[in-house]
Structure 1
């Protein structure tokens, strides 16, 4: 760690411990508010309200104002006792009041005439939210610890809430073990728009966006909340969800846990496409937590450790070469690169009966001779196993002093993670892994949070937070000398992902400084949030080279049609790509919760976010430079690339109003009508500007050799890869290469900050004690979203056999702009039974639809288990891309429940120990299929038999490296939907490639985007506990034996079918499944 990092951390700690600052009211804490009246309904001023934390004995006192109102902000989550006292009235005490993160809990008192010594005690707290208008889901502590979570990962919990849909996809990232599987969308908002908070400070993977950096262990989590719409102006950074996690702190009693959870493949069911046995698995999670007092009522500690040791297999069905073809190559081309790769990395044995003779080798790229009787391709299946080890430590210290007027805490969490990298990634799906290619991962994830809260009287609370987050990730490619090799006919290629190797050290510093004041009927909050981000990375993508072949027959002839490499544009040699990016984010807000009447609350606020333009320590920034033009196409044609001072202009008008109301029309505290509207801005995440900043001349270049279309006259096909001679001819005055086009990553110099507008209306009704139903409508409209396109293309460009391009200095371009749009409308139904009488229940149903033009500007980062679109098929008519989002799911139902079985539950002695102590827990998920479409990734060529194109139908050379995922065919005779498709339809083939008519060369197909719907998803996760009370471990001492089953009924949940017309054998078929039934056993000691 560099000295400047240490200085930043020291400055933050000194500020936190030495400067009285303002408070952040609800980021990690809660508020109790209410009205005190007498029995005739008259408000009572000067009533003393005392709020006491049961665990730590921390006490806060306020007085009601002339309107009988009181408000106690900044209370840590936990169990409380709330007491109201005034001379001439009986004391009213509310016990078992549990405050959760973000709560604004209303507790009204009706005082009876009597003496202050007389005490009336009531237990519990209201269930409906009468004080604020936001949509949020709380996962109670009991749910966090007891619900069956596969891998004990708390970030599975958001998808239990209304409006939240799991992506069910791998999100490729060089900073989280190569891929992340728990991303989700909220009310149709993009996955990268989620903001993760841990103990009030950022916990985001700032490079990729929408993913957490650190996942605290279950037993270290006190509170888990997800805010999904119209959150307070206190929250900024993103327009999506806010995932707010608070870690545990100690109390006056000593408590602890110790655990071991075990899984292995002998306990699991076989996946549908597995062989005779399930994919191998051996997994152990173990650890402990311990908390207690250092000094009673003042200083407390909490420590935890968890280790993970796992080896997990995965299986896939895919297209590969046959043994007969390999033998043919060994005999006729023994010294070829194909022979070398076939010897070292052969595909598995084929599935009998799937072999096909697709022709014979012929001279020249794209050339195929007549069938020769040798089977060339076949379907096969294979299994891979990834070994992953992690160790996570956490320590937290809390201290109260000055009679409770000051409170400080410090928390440190650190995780080491290592894996063998047998997981899919970009351009390296499981097929490559089955052949033997890996991307081993080594990373550290470390975070610090420090805070100081200070009370100035009863109505002013000041608080300061400092956070530091460090991520260092170093995934590599193995074997390192093999380049990334892609075969366009769907045959499994070779090599690890072209993204590797990389080295990503990143540091995030955060200072928060807010104030909370109660003035009459107003609860006012305002403050400032400052974040500083550093990225010091070596991201040498294509540094091992990449080659692309039109077909397997071209591959065995060592005839790639494309070579891509990252080079030094001055010399043409391979080069590293080292950058040191810096940026600041500054936010300020004002928020007021105005109690207009005792039963009507109006929330209003305003936030301003400034996302500064990123800088590079050494000035190594390059981007597109426009030199005139009337539209985007003429500007591209005349543009150059070169060093720039700033990547783009700043966007300084990011004002975000928030409005909400909560009305209790009958004044019972049991029925509330809420509505809200809010605007939130979405920061431009690191990946969106860092790739354009780092991959362009004069410092670096991604060069392309594509001889078949006149782009570079030579390809150097070797292992290890060597640069083409065309890469060594120097640069021209437009920032391109003299001998070859480059593949530029660009960002609009006038890019704007995206934003979303949310609105909702719902009602909550506590129809009987501990039961609540909520009915709601939610909508949002997102504007100026990031959208990537290749503007350097023209319909019909390749019809003359030469690739001309708008700008001949470039090949495909990757241009990030901010003209994306999305719209969502949805309805939700929630039923909540709070834990009482031994059980809790939560049911969330969502019906919705999201329409957009592009679901993610880096769609290649997302293995959607069926490729998603990455741009417009007709660059001159991008409105054709309007359709269902890649993650659109019409129906989703999520249920979770905890049930302490009543059998001998309260029986003492051996009968209770043997026959009692049983508990059931479950998560049930049902959802309809995701939207998907049909397209081709095949490059342009003309089929001499039909005169129609075999790929890239409009001949614009668009997409990816060549061909891409842009071009859609014409609508088939059966139409553009597949309503009512069965599971067997997806397994056997939903449709055939021949069903889809091919448009004339130079034109686009009329099939819309994402018109089809994939298979539905349903699963039941279940756990059974046997609990033994164990007084030797203390008053709460017990031992839990746990049996947990994930996908209990072993339902076959299919991935999306193959939707690329170029994949000969897998098109229209689902060839992979989500996990079959998995069993886990656990042993847990609690005291």
Structure 2
């Protein structure tokens, strides 16, 4: 179809949808309230029309009325979460009252009534506990946690995102190892990607549009939440999947959270939770006599709610603060006193003041500072390729945050009410963010992260008639966060280091550059610990989201109709001064003392960017009650996510037809990519009440779900081969582009800039890849998923329900990226064998990084990455849930999921290697493998038990005891073994290739020091005779013409399993009629079972230039004409440390927390 004809058709279709919505008072949904509906009949089963239905909120005293239609049906939507009495009246019949009907978030409670003949003044009262406990009208999947679950379950760090993982179909992300979104509470729901979830707070956007992660409880430094949603402010939380057309924005799950409201009674609490290292076990890797990492955490706060005007106006306030301090143990190699003295003696008067000042940034290492380790002239490098740290320190780190939430609800009358809520979160964090080669890991060079999060939500509900309800909603949120170096106030010019490029106005700068120092002569690749800046600092961003939305519900006979529309604007302001403070490399201690670097570089240019995106959504849906036992849900949603643009026209794209880098804006491209208007998403589901008693329901459904763009793909991309092209906003074009300046050479002279003029072309080592390009496929499409399921739910008794079902999904047009400038295998072989393959084995020469590239080196680029929509996925699962509700004080939920998730890319970015970029961009289909979040088996068990104790002499002491528990058991998740930048073994230049498998893969899940035997893996080439005699582990050992991409598949390996039992024991004592005191003790990982992290940035071989925290120091040895791995791959962290949230993250050693709470 021609684009113009399609555009006209799309416009007409959208106009039609909009007309339908406007004709009923424009509407949009994503409801955060609940619904009561049902059918009213007489005793013979005939429909009773015109009956008046009054729904009374027992907590606020407010009422809503509706009227039954000709088929006897009624619908009362947009009800605030709470407990209701449902009264139904009709002349000639006795009045029916159903009491204590619980309404939860985004759920429908069915109250069917058969009226008995009689006078209205006669009344039949039935308890809501007798009505069916299962939904018989929808096919939405997921789980609900009530305020009792939220406030009572043991939650490490009081982090609501941990509750999400208790739902069926949820799997965690294994890439929780850096300050990437994988550390921020990401989760996969039924095969969707971890950044495909939509977070709602009171029905409005709680998303960070930069990463598509939650704005509240998102990690600041690593996975430590920078702002927390007060747990005591949460009324209900529901995680939805396979949702109806009223929900949009993302293809994964909807996390729908509703905050508490005030009632006619004043209620509130004051609490404090305390935990420290003395109350917990030692970390598995903190082996005595090494120091135990100190830890101290206080979480405190309170809430207050009640009436401002009885039955009319209500308020609720909540505050929670956290004061966390952590001692991060640093093990490092530093110059010994003997080494320093020997160098000074050899140099004599050649030692310079600048050199001495630079040396002072390495701490000294007195002998036996680490028990059992004695310093010597060799220090921690003994010449065998192994290293033992000779310095230890405990770096003080902290997280101080405060969060406040306030809410007002006002009821003008039965037909009109308004609700407003404001959230404010503020924090300052300081943690190490060095990540080895990207910055210094010594104390004094932490990252300081201030964060401020604000959210506003307004909702106005108007009852148009007994069968029509309209809601208008407004949402605004702002997420502001910065990453700044701890030593930002230090000016290197004060020690004679003019750490700026030539042409700078002055020598003044902020913070020390990264200092690399080798203990061995020129050419060595081992380094001491690095002082200086974390390479990614400073950077900051402000993310602002604005929403206007509206929904309209209309009951017409057997049809429950909804119409909707939405407008959303997301804008980002960011600066990203990566490597702005530079890096200097010294090959010897003597060179440091004379202030004579071997090489160095820094980056400079304008990094301030302002991006924005305007999105629109429309939908229509119907819940058609075909017969009383069958409900058909169907509808259509359309979304247009807009085109991301940059306010100053600083986007650019690579034109594959001309081979040139082109700006977006006046005189260039009109847009970075073409708009996609075809995002129509039909959804259909059926619910069949098999016996008509509301106790056996069979459901099935299918739907299409489109996924929004995250703006970090344009501003903060993380391709692993290079960090210098973080997106199309930073390509080497336009005014004042970001470019590299190289060290000018010679000794450092006070007042003289150490870097030359910024330019593009080569890096400090001479490689041609420092002004790389990141572009977008101009024809990129909006990703979408197809979800389908069939399940049966059975109410076994009044308290027990069982659900068994199949859930599947397929992802289409998912984001990923290729290196479109990667050479083919034929080009690689030709470069290896310039005189032809016949003579290659004896005369060829490795042309490392010298292979001709398809587009050459335009604009100084080596890599040319292109984001595209060529990803795909497939998910299949069996899901079983058993729920017990208040059976003799016991409430419990048991979930088991068997699943398999496959894809060819698990994210649009490489937060772990090969998540988005294939090993071989010319063969992307070879990446189809288990998803990063694939989890074959997962079992969770939630239990809350109120012990019932008989009275007696010690009644007050024996009464009020209870326990809460969560158990999680799950399979290990996949990971990929790769070279991690060791060398260009394949010849393709992307240096993150995988090895060949040459033997059986052997794991040892009980011994992290010998987790994976490396003798099963080999360098992907045949090695020369010289290498067979003395293997070096470098690509130069390869016989020319034999290099290739390794045959180890993506995600072919499996990490360790996870098992954890958390338990809380409490005692509630009634002090007065309304005042209660609860004392709690919570045990995280009660059995102290060691849970090991998924492997951290797994490197196949040791990088000699890496630091001692490198997970493998094994190297290669020759077996015949192959070089295979030595020894075993190590796991070096427990789960909490692996995700960057020690103690408060999941998977750590046993921790004990005590708490006290006064409530009234």
Give the TM interval when normalised to the shorter protein. Answer: 0.7 to 0.9
The whole-number CA distance in structure 2 between the counterparts of 1:1054 and 1:25 is 43
Q: Does 1:699 align with 2:728?
A: no
Q: Does structure 2 retain, via aligned residues, the 8 Å contact 1:155–1:215?
A: no
Q: Does 1:832 align with 2:871?
A: no
- The answer for the alignment partner of 1:1080 in structure 2 is 1153
When residues 317 and 373 of structure 1 are mapped into structure 2, their CA distance, relative to the original with a 3 A threshold, is closer
Q: Which of 779, 786, 796 in structure 1 is aligned with 2:808?
A: 779
When residues 758 and 869 of structure 1 are mapped into structure 2, their CA distance, relative to the original with a 3 A threshold, is closer
The whole-number CA distance in structure 1 between the counterparts of 2:749 and 2:50 is 85
Structure 1 portions without partners, runs of 5+: 1-18, 362-370, 567-573, 629-636, 707-711, 732-736, 940-950
Q: Which of 1093, 1099, 1119 in structure 2 is aligned with 1:1060?
A: 1099
Q: Which of 284, 291, 294 in structure 1 is aligned with 2:305?
A: 291
Equivalent residues in 2 for 1:177-192 (5 A)? 180-192=183-195
Return the TM-score normalized by structure 2. Answer: 0.80
**Which deviations, in whole Å up to 9, do the C-alpha atoms of 1:45-67 show, x marking residues without a partner?**
23322211111111112222222
Q: Which of 395, 411, 417 in structure 1 is aligned with 2:427?
A: 417
Shift of 1:893: 0.9
Q: Does structure 1 retain, via aligned residues, the 8 Å contact 2:94–2:123?
A: yes
Shift of 1:993: 6.2
- The answer for the alignment partner of 1:800 in structure 2 is 847
Q: Does 1:1028 align with 2:1069?
A: yes
- The answer for the alignment partner of 2:264 in structure 1 is 252
Q: Which of 642, 647, 657 in structure 2 is aligned with 1:612?
A: 642
Q: Which of 122, 126, 132 in structure 1 is aligned with 2:127?
A: 122
Shift of 1:887: 2.0
The whole-number CA distance in structure 2 between the counterparts of 1:183 and 1:559 is 46
- The answer for the alignment partner of 1:540 in structure 2 is 577
- The answer for the alignment partner of 1:885 in structure 2 is 931
The whole-number CA distance in structure 2 between the counterparts of 1:187 and 1:617 is 37
Q: Does structure 1 retain, via aligned residues, the 8 Å contact 2:305–2:314?
A: yes
The whole-number CA distance in structure 2 between the counterparts of 1:788 and 1:26 is 32
When residues 220 and 558 of structure 1 are mapped into structure 2, their CA distance, relative to the original with a 3 A threshold, is same
- The answer for the alignment partner of 1:957 in structure 2 is 989
The whole-number CA distance in structure 2 between the counterparts of 1:490 and 1:84 is 79
When residues 231 and 528 of structure 1 are mapped into structure 2, their CA distance, relative to the original with a 3 A threshold, is same
Mean Cα displacement is larger for which, 300-309 or 554-563?
554-563
Shift of 1:759: 0.8
Mean Cα displacement is larger for which, 31-40 or 72-81?
31-40
Q: Does structure 2 retain, via aligned residues, the 8 Å contact 1:489–1:1062?
A: no
Shift of 1:70: 1.4
The whole-number CA distance in structure 2 between the counterparts of 1:279 and 1:39 is 71
When residues 375 and 140 of structure 1 are mapped into structure 2, their CA distance, relative to the original with a 3 A threshold, is closer
Q: Does structure 2 retain, via aligned residues, the 8 Å contact 1:51–1:82?
A: yes
Equivalent residues in 2 for 1:604-683 (5 A)? 604-628=634-658, 644=668, 645-683=670-708
Q: Does 1:471 align with 2:468?
A: no
Shift of 1:543: 2.1
The whole-number CA distance in structure 2 between the counterparts of 1:360 and 1:111 is 86
Q: Does structure 2 retain, via aligned residues, the 8 Å contact 1:716–1:724?
A: no
Q: Which of 1043, 1048, 1055 in structure 1 is aligned with 2:1086?
A: 1048
Shift of 1:149: 0.8
Q: Does 1:972 align with 2:998?
A: yes
- The answer for the alignment partner of 1:206 in structure 2 is 209
The whole-number CA distance in structure 1 between the counterparts of 2:565 and 2:817 is 33
The whole-number CA distance in structure 2 between the counterparts of 1:591 and 1:774 is 26
- The answer for the alignment partner of 1:727 in structure 2 is 758
Q: Does structure 2 retain, via aligned residues, the 8 Å contact 1:510–1:530?
A: yes
When residues 789 and 680 of structure 1 are mapped into structure 2, their CA distance, relative to the original with a 3 A threshold, is same
The whole-number CA distance in structure 1 between the counterparts of 2:463 and 2:167 is 35
Q: Does 1:982 align with 2:1005?
A: yes
Q: Which of 357, 361, 366 in structure 2 is aligned with 1:344?
A: 361
Aligned with 1:623: secondary structure? strand
Q: Does structure 1 retain, via aligned residues, the 8 Å contact 2:1063–2:1084?
A: yes
The whole-number CA distance in structure 2 between the counterparts of 1:610 and 1:536 is 22
The whole-number CA distance in structure 1 between the counterparts of 2:915 and 2:344 is 38
- The answer for the alignment partner of 2:861 in structure 1 is 810
Q: Which of 576, 597, 616 in structure 1 is aligned with 2:627?
A: 597
When residues 870 and 34 of structure 1 are mapped into structure 2, their CA distance, relative to the original with a 3 A threshold, is closer
Q: Does 1:278 align with 2:278?
A: no
Mean Cα displacement is larger for which, 43-52 or 670-679?
43-52
Aligned with 1:508: secondary structure? strand
When residues 695 and 839 of structure 1 are mapped into structure 2, their CA distance, relative to the original with a 3 A threshold, is same
- The answer for the alignment partner of 2:116 in structure 1 is 112
Shift of 1:323: 7.8
Return the TM-score normalized by structure 1. Answer: 0.85
- The answer for the alignment partner of 2:789 in structure 1 is 760
- The answer for the alignment partner of 1:11 in structure 2 is none
Mean Cα displacement is larger for which, 297-306 or 118-127?
118-127
- The answer for the alignment partner of 1:151 in structure 2 is 157
The whole-number CA distance in structure 1 between the counterparts of 2:748 and 2:926 is 39
- The answer for the alignment partner of 2:902 in structure 1 is 851
When residues 729 and 1049 of structure 1 are mapped into structure 2, their CA distance, relative to the original with a 3 A threshold, is closer
Aligned with 2:758: secondary structure? helix
Aligned length, in residue pairs: 996
The whole-number CA distance in structure 2 between the counterparts of 1:627 and 1:93 is 73
Q: Does 1:45 align with 2:46?
A: no
The whole-number CA distance in structure 2 between the counterparts of 1:998 and 1:903 is 69
Shift of 1:744: 2.5
Q: Does 1:438 align with 2:463?
A: no
Shift of 1:383: 4.7
Structure 2 portions without partners, runs of 5+: 1-22, 217-226, 489-510, 519-524, 717-726, 833-845, 1023-1037, 1104-1109, 1113-1128, 1136-1147
**Which deviations, in whole Å up to 9, do the C-alpha atoms of 1:28-61 show, x marking residues without a partner?**
1111111222333333323322211111111112
Aligned with 1:151: secondary structure? helix
Q: Does structure 1 retain, via aligned residues, the 8 Å contact 2:1083–2:1153?
A: yes
Mean Cα displacement is larger for which, 493-502 or 746-755?
493-502
Q: Does structure 2 retain, via aligned residues, the 8 Å contact 1:249–1:300?
A: yes
Shift of 1:793: 2.7
The whole-number CA distance in structure 1 between the counterparts of 2:141 and 2:794 is 15
When residues 1020 and 792 of structure 1 are mapped into structure 2, their CA distance, relative to the original with a 3 A threshold, is same
The whole-number CA distance in structure 1 between the counterparts of 2:662 and 2:591 is 35
Q: Does 1:916 align with 2:959?
A: yes
The whole-number CA distance in structure 2 between the counterparts of 1:449 and 1:550 is 58
Q: Does 1:526 align with 2:526?
A: no
Shift of 1:460: 0.6
- The answer for the alignment partner of 2:39 in structure 1 is 35
The whole-number CA distance in structure 2 between the counterparts of 1:412 and 1:890 is 41
- The answer for the alignment partner of 2:980 in structure 1 is 937
Shift of 1:792: 2.4
When residues 262 and 740 of structure 1 are mapped into structure 2, their CA distance, relative to the original with a 3 A threshold, is closer
The whole-number CA distance in structure 1 between the counterparts of 2:483 and 2:577 is 12
Mean Cα displacement is larger for which, 1039-1048 or 112-121?
112-121
Shift of 1:690: 2.9
Q: Does structure 1 retain, via aligned residues, the 8 Å contact 2:459–2:471?
A: yes
Q: Which of 225, 230, 255 in structure 1 is aligned with 2:242?
A: 230
Shift of 1:967: 0.8
Shift of 1:502: 1.6
- The answer for the alignment partner of 1:455 in structure 2 is 463
Shift of 1:110: 2.4
The whole-number CA distance in structure 2 between the counterparts of 1:556 and 1:918 is 67
The whole-number CA distance in structure 1 between the counterparts of 2:893 and 2:356 is 58
When residues 579 and 374 of structure 1 are mapped into structure 2, their CA distance, relative to the original with a 3 A threshold, is closer
Q: Does 1:1039 align with 2:1039?
A: no
Aligned with 1:694: secondary structure? coil
Equivalent residues in 2 for 1:468-507 (5 A)? 468-480=476-488, 481-484=511-514, 493-507=530-544
Equivalent residues in 2 for 1:994-1005 (5 A)? 995-1000=1017-1022, 1001=1038, 1002-1005=1043-1046
When residues 141 and 168 of structure 1 are mapped into structure 2, their CA distance, relative to the original with a 3 A threshold, is farther
**Which deviations, in whole Å up to 9, do the C-alpha atoms of 1:836-891 show, x marking residues without a partner?**
4312001111111111222223223x6xxxx6655222221122222112222211
